[in-house]
């Protein structure tokens, strides 16, 4: 049995922050941000009531409703995030409590922007092993709390949000998936943990906020993501043109356009929401999937390929029948 997605949901914070609004905060411009990234605006958390957990729960509820599945039917909840509200309990356990999904095992996965794909692939492996049958997978981030809002090279790139899918063990669905990591390249995208209060430890000044070497991340993404897609297609015995839609991690429209060029495919096959969401890390692929699903762009039997890259370094992809 493989993972078949039977419902999608998402939640974006109500507050929309435009590029012009950011140019009042740091020395930047709408022209610079749009031409370098394709981003026009992003949704950001703007109250204490809105956080990683609240967005995860709302996205999860909406995916369950779309799938017609009751919370108690879930036997697994995975949450992909690098921005949990708590170190422990996990966001997944807190979601389980809020949804009253009393029969589900729950844990978080940290693979940065590839996190949703790692979670989906983990669910598929559990289904193949016959361990679980019905899972809720959520990608959620509140990156706004990890960003240095005086650093123009990062603060313009990211947004907050959550996306979710319900997956069921089925004869059809997942065709092939892969994931990979290269820890030796990890220092190009880093967010250290907060101050160490241990009085016996030698204290070093920690980097509290997200640091990114943008050009190195760009080079990594435009090399690794097409390689990852090609090897997944090869594994499935398919050609790039056999895929109806490519739903890629929404970090930067130039990266998406470069991948489309490398695969010699029209951009119409690459739906994108980076212009209004920015980069929502682990949430970006499920938010996009929900958008495309709600617009009724996907027909039963369509072949879709999800792929992304992120800190770690990590990368992953999944090829599915809709």
- Whether the CB-CB separation of 312 and 114 falls below 8 Å is answered with yes
Helix count and strand count (H, E) for the chain: 10, 13
Q: What does the alpha-carbon distance between residue 167 and residue 248 come to, in Å, rounded to a whole number?
A: 19
Q: Strand order in 314-321's β-sheet?
A: 174-181, 314-321, 303-310, 245-248
Per CB under 6 A, the segment of 50-58, 150-158, 172-180, 295-303 that binds ligand ACO is 150-158
Per CB under 6 A, the segment of 51-59, 226-234, 250-258, 259-267 that binds ligand ACO is 250-258
User: Phi/psi of residue 299, each to 5°?
Assistant: -105, 150
- Rounded to a whole number of angstroms, the distance between the first and last alpha carbons of the chain is 15
Q: To the nearest whole angstrom, how small is the minimum distance from the Cβ of residue 12 to ligand ACO? A: 17
Interacting residue with ligand ACO among 12, 67, 233, 251 (CB under 6 A): 251
Interacting residue with ligand ACO among 5, 9, 12, 28 (CB under 6 A): 28
According to the binding rule CB under 6 A, does residue 58 interact with ligand ACO? no
- Whether the CB-CB separation of 126 and 135 falls below 8 Å is answered with yes
- Whether the CB-CB separation of 211 and 189 falls below 8 Å is answered with yes
According to the binding rule CB under 6 A, does residue 49 interact with ligand ACO? no
Interaxial angle between packed helices 52-67 and 91-99, expressed in degrees from 0 to 180 and rounded to the nearest 10 = 50
Per CB under 6 A, the segment of 29-37, 64-72, 124-132, 197-205 that binds ligand ACO is 29-37
Catalytic residues: 113, 249, 279
Binding to ligand ACO (CB under 6 A): which residues in 254-313? 255, 279, 281, 310-311
Interacting residue with ligand ACO among 36, 192, 262, 294 (CB under 6 A): 36
According to the binding rule CB under 6 A, does residue 113 interact with ligand ACO? yes
According to the binding rule CB under 6 A, does residue 179 interact with ligand ACO? no
- Whether the CB-CB separation of 165 and 286 falls below 8 Å is answered with yes
From 61, 241, 46, select the one nearest 165 (Cα to Cα).
61
Q: To the nearest whole angstrom, how small is the minimum distance from the Cβ of residue 117 to ligand ACO? A: 12
DSSP alpha helix (H) spans, 246-313 = 253-262, 274-277, 284-294
Q: How many whole angstroms from its chain centre is CA 151?
A: 23
DSSP alpha helix (H) spans, 88-213 = 91-99, 115-128, 152-155
According to the binding rule CB under 6 A, does residue 203 interact with ligand ACO? no
DSSP structural state of residue 23 = T
Per CB under 6 A, the segment of 126-134, 200-208, 215-223, 268-276 that binds ligand ACO is 215-223
According to the binding rule CB under 6 A, does residue 214 interact with ligand ACO? yes
> Of 212 and 319, which CB lies nearer to ligand ACO in the complex structure?
212
Cα distances (Å, whole numbers) of residue 78 to 165, 202, 208, 225, 308: 10, 36, 27, 24, 18
Which residue lies nearest ligand ACO, judged by its C-beta? 214
Q: What does the alpha-carbon distance between residue 286 and residue 8 come to, in Å, rounded to a whole number?
A: 8
Interacting residue with ligand ACO among 120, 137, 221, 287 (CB under 6 A): 221
According to the binding rule CB under 6 A, does residue 144 interact with ligand ACO? no
According to the binding rule CB under 6 A, does residue 252 interact with ligand ACO? yes
Q: To the nearest whole angstrom, how small is the minimum distance from the Cβ of residue 283 to ligand ACO? A: 10
Q: What does the alpha-carbon distance between residue 243 and residue 200 come to, in Å, rounded to a whole number?
A: 56
> Of 153 and 234, which CB lies nearer to ligand ACO in the complex structure?
153
Prior bond of 282 cis (ω within 30°): no
According to the binding rule CB under 6 A, does residue 215 interact with ligand ACO? yes
According to the binding rule CB under 6 A, does residue 218 interact with ligand ACO? yes
Residues in contact with ligand ACO by the rule CB under 6 A: 28, 32-33, 36-37, 112-113, 152-153, 156, 189, 212, 214-215, 217-218, 221, 251-252, 255, 279, 281, 310-311
């Amino acid at each position: 049995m493989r993972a078949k997605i039977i419902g999608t949901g998402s939640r974006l914070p109500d507050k929309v922050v435009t590029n012009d609004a950011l140019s009042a905060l740091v020395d930047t411009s709408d022209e610079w941000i749009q031409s370098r990234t394709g981003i026009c605006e992003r949704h950001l958390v703007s109250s204490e009531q809105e956080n990683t957990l609240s967005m995860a729960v709302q996205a999860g509820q909406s995916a369950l409703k779309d799938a017609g599945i009751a919370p108690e039917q879930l036997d697994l909840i995975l949450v992909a995030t690098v921005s949990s509200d708590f170190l422990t309990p996990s966001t997944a356990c807190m979601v389980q409590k809020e949804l009253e999904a009393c029969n589900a095992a729950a844990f978080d996965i940290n693979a940065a922007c590839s996190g949703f794909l790692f979670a989906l692939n983990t669910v598929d492996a559990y289904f193949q092993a016959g361990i679980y049958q019905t899972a809720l997978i959520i990608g959620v981030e509140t990156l706004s709390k990890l960003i240095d809002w005086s650093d123009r090279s990062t603060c313009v790139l990211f947004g907050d949000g959550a996306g979710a899918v319900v997956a069921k063990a089925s004869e059809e669905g997942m065709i092939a998936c892969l994931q990979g990591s290269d820890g030796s390249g990890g220092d190009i995208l880093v967010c250290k943990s907060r101050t160490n209060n241990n009085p016996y430890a030698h204290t070093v000044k920690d980097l509290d906020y997200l640091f990114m070497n943008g050009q190195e991340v760009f080079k990594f993404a435009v090399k690794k993501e097409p390689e990852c897609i090609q090897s997944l297609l090869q594994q499935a015995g398919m050609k790039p043109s056999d895929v109806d839609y490519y739903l890629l991690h929404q970090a930067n429209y130039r990266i998406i356009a470069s991948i489309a060029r490398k695969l010699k495919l029209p951009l119409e096959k690459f739906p994108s929401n980076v212009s209004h969401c920015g980069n929502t890390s682990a949430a970006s692929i499920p938010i996009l999937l929900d958008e495309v699903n709600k617009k009724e762009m996907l027909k039963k039997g369509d072949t879709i390929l999800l792929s992304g890259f992120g800190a770690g370094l990590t990368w992953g992809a999944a090829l599915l029948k809709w």
